[in-house]
Amino acid sequence: MKTQSRLILLVGIAALVAACQSPAPAPTAAPTPAATFAPTATSAPTQPPTATKPSTTAAPTAVTSKQGGTFVIVAGTDPGHLNPAISTSGALHFSAGSLYNGLVALDKDFKPQPELADSWMITDDGKTYTFKLHPGVKWHDGKPFTSADVKFTFENLLLKFHARTQTGVAPVLDKIETPDDLTVVFRFKTPYAPLLQQLNVIEAPILPKHVYQVGGEPQNHPANLKPIGTGPFKFVEYKKGQQVVLERNREYFKSGLPYFDKLIFSIIPDTATALIAFERGEVDYVSVPGSDVERISKLPGVIVERSPAGSGGSFCVQTIIPNHQRAPLDKLPVRQALNLAIDRQRMVQQVLFNQGRAARGPMATTAWYFDSTLPTFEYNAAKANQLLDSAGLAKGADGFRFKLTAVFPNTVAKMAEVLKENFAQIGVNVELKIVDFNEANQTVFIKRGFDLGYASYCNGPDPEIGVRRAYDSTNIKAVLFSNGAAYKNPMVDELFARGVAETNRVQRVAIYAELQKILVNDLPYFWLYESEGAYAHRNTINDVRPWTSSLAEYAWSSK
């Protein structure tokens, strides 16, 4: 049982870090094709069942009364194709998630629940996972689902093309074995705890071997546009730039589910148009930008739900990245001054329209590992000016002490303007380069041509991957959402290493508390705020679960 408890903790090291999901390329605010949603709950991922009983998702008795109807969901961006195993695109998973299943599902608190796998067993050394598959599952074309599909999907698709699985699982996986049709065994080279967090339909959707083993390259496979899954909904049609239509899978293995006859993902790139379509009743479910939340929530018969997740990740902290490789950002007093000059309250009010809160440190205030004793950041331009004066950075003839080039994606243009105004108050001239998301990431993380960058670092359910990557000095490399500041502190590196090894949860929280105190003093980054997403639907639609990426599996209409 000793190994067991260690395992339990390590399970928390979830790789479910859908960090900084690329916002959908829409002209206005990203319409949030959220792949992973953080729950409000601050509890840690608790004990996964080492050998759960097959929990047949008991269908509610009044099934028939819930059955029927069409659910029209606004998608801001065209998915492109519908193969979720070879892409991490949020826009793709938003609709494709309803077609497939993972071995496990994750509930609102990120606890693994049986899905294609009824139960699982983890050896004491943490190196071998044995999954028992649900019997009688059929693909949409009627063929039976077996362990061969799982092995094939991992070996030929996920481990090669799914960026997160490729990065997270591939280096440590030894082999996958299929002793019989309903058993899959994952063998790892070293103990690997986060696996159960990486097996849901977002991280590891299972695709049919009989379809994908023939017919061409996975990226260009015809089935990507005529997908066959095991999921609650079956594919009907995909008209690019227009809609994805799915229909109820009558033979879904979770009996009784789903309820809607038809699911339509309607692609509306313009946010203003999408909201008007929602108000006119042409669509049922829409992402609402902060500026409209108040107005929309006052509409009769409309429910606005908030999610602490930002644009597509969980426990995300929107962060300014100062480049420590460039003077004077390498100096602590300068960073302290800049941090003091940021008016976070104003950003929350005017940029987020109060759909979020000011950040208090590197870790999200809603995460279980957040240290609540941390003070809130002070906004004090006078003090900041003093700091810069005493640092010897006097104002020049033009009233500026120095210039900083900020490379930000156009999704945060408003924040950029507030920041520029804030820094101008202390004599720091910010030259804004507002570019598209792709170019901003390339400039900051790959080419490193910036003084100030921006990222939404999504912490995920465990600090190990979502937080550590931004601070660990071994992660200063040309990779997206790595340690972009190029921050080096051996003490921090060591504490992260101790944190992941610590089996006692209380001790572990203490380690992260210490880490947070160091980081808040060192200010390697400027943590701005944590935004919340808002979603509107009619009050006749119930039980939408956007955090699963199979958002309509349980949804029903009471109209």
Partner 1 sequence: MRAYLVRRLLQLAPVVLLILAINFTLIQLAPGDPVLILAGDSGNETYYAEMRAKYGLDRPAYEQFARYVLNILRGDFGYSFRYGQPVFAVILERVPATLLLMLTAQTIAIIVGIGLGMIAGSRPSGNLGLFIRTGAALGYALPVFWIGQLSILFFAYQLGWFPVYGMESLRAGYTGIARVFDIAHHLALPALTLAVVEIGLLVRLTDATLRDLSGEDFARTARAKGLRETIVVRRHILRNALLPVVTAIGGQLGALLTGAVLVEIVFAWPGLGRLLYDAMLARDYPLLMAMFLVSAFGVVIGNLITDLLYTRIDPRVRFEAR
Partner 2 sequence: MNLPLEYALPPRHWFIRYAHQPGALVGLGIGLVILLIAIFANIIAPTNPKVTVADALHAPSLAHWFGADDLGRDTFSNVIHGTRVALIVGLVTALTSTLIGTLVGLVSGYVGGWWDDLLMRVTETFQMLPRFFLALLLVSLFGSNIMWVALMLGLTFWTGPARLLRSQVLSIKNREFVIAARSIGAHELAIMFRHVLPNAFAPVVVSAARQIAGAILTEAGLSFLGLGDPTLVSWGQLLNNAQRFIRTAWWLFVFPGAALALTILSTTLIADGLVAALRPQTHE
Nearer to partner 1, 460 or 499 (CB): 460
Nearer to partner 2, 161 or 353 (CB): 353
DSSP strands (E only) in 152-242: 173-180, 183-188, 233-239
At residue 556, what is the residue type? W
DSSP-derived pairing of the beta strands 70-75 and 262-267: parallel
Q: Report the nearest approach of partner 1 to the CB of residue 226 (Å).
A: 11
501 binds, options partner 2, partner 1, none, Cβ within 5 to 8 A by partner type: none
Nearer to partner 1, 60 or 222 (CB): 222
H/E segment holding residue 382: helix 381-390
H/E segment holding residue 209: helix 209-212
348 binds, options partner 2, partner 1, none, Cβ within 5 to 8 A by partner type: none
* Nearest of 212, 254, 206, 227 to residue 103 by alpha carbon: 206
Binding site for partner 2 (CB under 8 A): 27-29, 271-272, 275, 289, 291-292, 295, 349-350, 410, 413-414, 416-418, 420-421, 432-436, 439
**How far apart are the C-alpha atoms of 513 and 317, rounded to whole Å?**
17
For the record, the structure tokens of 119 come out as: 């139960």
CA distances from 125 to 2, 118, 183, 337, 504 (A): 11, 22, 20, 49, 18
18 binds, options partner 1, partner 2, none, Cβ within 5 to 8 A by partner type: partner 1
Nearer to partner 2, 65 or 273 (CB): 273
557 binds, options partner 2, partner 1, none, Cβ within 5 to 8 A by partner type: none
29 binds, options partner 1, partner 2, none, Cβ within 5 to 8 A by partner type: partner 2
Nearer to partner 1, 336 or 441 (CB): 441
224 binds, options partner 1, partner 2, none, Cβ within 5 to 8 A by partner type: partner 1
Q: Report the nearest approach of partner 1 to the CB of residue 282 (Å).
A: 6
Q: Report the nearest approach of partner 1 to the CB of residue 79 (Å).
A: 9
* Biggest distance spanned by C-alpha atoms of the chain: 78
354 binds, options partner 2, partner 1, none, Cβ within 5 to 8 A by partner type: none
Binding site for partner 1 (CB under 8 A): 17-22, 25, 27, 70, 72, 77-78, 80-81, 83, 87-90, 160, 163-164, 166-167, 219-221, 224-225, 239-243, 245, 264, 266-270, 272-274, 276-277, 279-280, 282, 313, 435-439, 441-443, 446, 477-481
For the stretch 126-129, contacts whose Cβ atoms lie closer than 8 Å and that sit 24 or more positions apart, written own/partner, are 126/3, 126/6, 126/7, 126/10, 126/188, 126/191, 126/192, 126/193, 127/187, 127/188, 127/189, 127/190, 127/191, 127/192, 128/185, 128/186, 128/187, 128/188, 129/185, 129/186, 129/188, 129/195, 129/196
Nearer to partner 2, 275 or 317 (CB): 275
Nearer to partner 2, 330 or 439 (CB): 439
**CB 61: neighbour CB atoms within 10 A?**
8
Nearer to partner 1, 4 or 213 (CB): 213
77 binds, options partner 1, partner 2, none, Cβ within 5 to 8 A by partner type: partner 1
Nearer to partner 1, 17 or 367 (CB): 17
First to last CA, the chain: 51
Q: Report the nearest approach of partner 2 to the CB of residue 350 (Å).
A: 5
Q: Report the nearest approach of partner 1 to the CB of residue 534 (Å).
A: 20
Nearer to partner 2, 251 or 439 (CB): 439
For residues 466 and 456, is the Cβ–Cβ distance under 8 A? Answer: no
**CB 69: neighbour CB atoms within 10 A?**
18
At residue 455, what is the residue type? A
271 binds, options partner 2, partner 1, none, Cβ within 5 to 8 A by partner type: partner 2
Q: Report the nearest approach of partner 2 to the CB of residue 413 (Å).
A: 4
Q: Report the nearest approach of partner 2 to the CB of residue 393 (Å).
A: 23
Cα torsion angle, 379, 385, 386, 392, sign: positive
For residues 76 and 241, is the Cβ–Cβ distance under 8 A? Answer: no
For residues 332 and 517, is the Cβ–Cβ distance under 8 A? Answer: no
350 binds, options partner 2, partner 1, none, Cβ within 5 to 8 A by partner type: partner 2
